[in-house]
Amino acid sequence: MQVPKVLVSRRSSNKRAPIGDSEAHLISATKDRLAPNSIWRLRGSTESLLRSTLDRLPGGKVSESEQRYPTTLQGVRAFLDSLFARHFFQVQDSLLAFVLHLVASQPMEHGTVCFADVGSGPAVASLALMDLLNCVQEIQEEHRAGRQRRIGISVALNDISEPCLNVGLDLLAAYSRAARSRLFLERIIPVSVPFPESNTQLRRIAQLTQPYDLCCLSYALAPLKDQSDCNAISQGISRLAEACRYANGRIVVIQDKFHESLLSQVCRNLGSVPQEVQIKQAVYDPQNQNTEHTYTFFRSIYPDSKKDEQAQNVEQVTVSA
Ligand SMILES: C[S@@+](CC[C@H](N)C(=O)[O-])C[C@H]1O[C@@H](n2cnc3c(N)ncnc32)[C@H](O)[C@@H]1O
């Protein structure tokens, strides 16, 4: 694993400012663009990136478990084909308020958003974050009628599947090339050691570069539970939180409704509260084009904070307006 030779962990003691009108406006404008009429849709550039990736990956029938937790390129293809859009939208919906708060009220001290994607698969959550930031930059450019400072993104991708990591690296690099006027990938570091043991590497990356603004475990709890118990998973998440930006960093955990009790148990150990969410999205299935579907999932944001609740409330008000 290559890590740059910069040293010292820089911890910020900044308190997050209360959400303001311009931030609420930015949340609402971004939500309208990513989910017009409250229906989440892939934007053109992401949809064509998905299509071209599917076209170049080998096809073929795979088992249900291979589709869910891919270990081959065929499996990655089946995973992207069936689950990409669903996970992508759920991550964007979950990160929206926090990311906009980060962009609007915190100067992103080093001009870089630092992200850890645990159980990353082919980097769907990282791509969702990049697309979210790209969209915010686009809106700010239009409103301020001028070019914004480019946002740097630093990503640690942690997965035990090499094909997932390889496709994830390609997807992020391709997205970053296409969006280069607004963002750039400062670094991507793949970590193939299983979580929670990977905490050693993930924490070292934060020490050598900068603390994480955000860490995400999207649909990773269920496979982790097959390998260790809830206490070990919760301890792993809590150790990862120590590598986040002091007071401002967050860990977002997303899981489907069939694993509600697993997420609840992990949340109880951490002292956070899971939230049930429903979102409506366009369905990306060649046989089922132009349809919409509502999915229910659960998410938790750790550590909980009043300010996050405030930000989420603004988002919810906006959705129902
Ligand atoms: C359902 S996929 C989720 C992928 C992605 N986060 C998303 O939301 O689309 C779960 C991923 O967790 C990975 N995984 C399983 N056990 C792991 C472990 N101990 N450490 C890191 N990743 C793991 C699997 O290889 C798989 O790619």
Express each pLDDT in 186-207 by its tens digit. 999 999 999 999 999 999 999 9
Checking if the pLDDT of 183 tops 60, the result is: yes
Residue with tokens 């480019």: 150
220 lines ligand 1 (CB under 6 A): yes
Residue ranges of the alpha helices (H) in 62-149?
Answer: 64-68, 73-105, 124-144
Do 134 and 182 meet the contact criterion of CB atoms below 8 Å apart? yes
Residue 179 has phi, psi (to 5 degrees) of: -105, 25
pLDDT at residue 102, as a whole number = 81
Question: pTM for the full model?
Answer: 0.88
How far is ligand 1, taken at its centre, from the CA of residue 76, in Å?
Answer: 11
Question: 221 vs 106, which has greater pLDDT?
Answer: 221
Integer Cα distance of 257 and 299 in angstroms: 10
Lowest-confidence segment of 94-103, 251-260, 274-283 by average pLDDT: 94-103
What's the pLDDT band for 9 if we cut at 50, 70, 90? very low
> What rounded mean pLDDT belongs to the chain?
86
User: What integer is the mean pLDDT of 243-264?
Assistant: 92
CA distances 199 to 98, 116, 141, Å, are 23, 11, 38
pLDDT at residue 315, as a whole number = 40
193 lines ligand 1 (CB under 6 A): no
Integer Cα distance of 247 and 172 in angstroms: 28
Residue whose Cα lies nearest atom 15 of ligand 1: it is 223
User: What integer is the mean pLDDT of 207-229?
Assistant: 95
pLDDT at residue 132, as a whole number = 96
What's the pLDDT band for 108 if we cut at 50, 70, 90? low
Minimum-distance ligand 1 atom for the alpha carbon of 158: 21
Query: Which of 68, 159, 202 to mutate to test ligand 1, by most ligand atoms within 8 A of the CB atom?
Result: 159
158 lines ligand 1 (CB under 6 A): yes
pLDDT at residue 110, as a whole number = 57
Do 152 and 146 meet the contact criterion of CB atoms below 8 Å apart? no
Domains of the chain with bracketed CATH: 24-320 (3.40.50.150)
CA distances 160 to 77, 157, 232, 281, 290, Å, are 17, 10, 18, 29, 35
Integer Cα distance of 118 and 121 in angstroms: 8
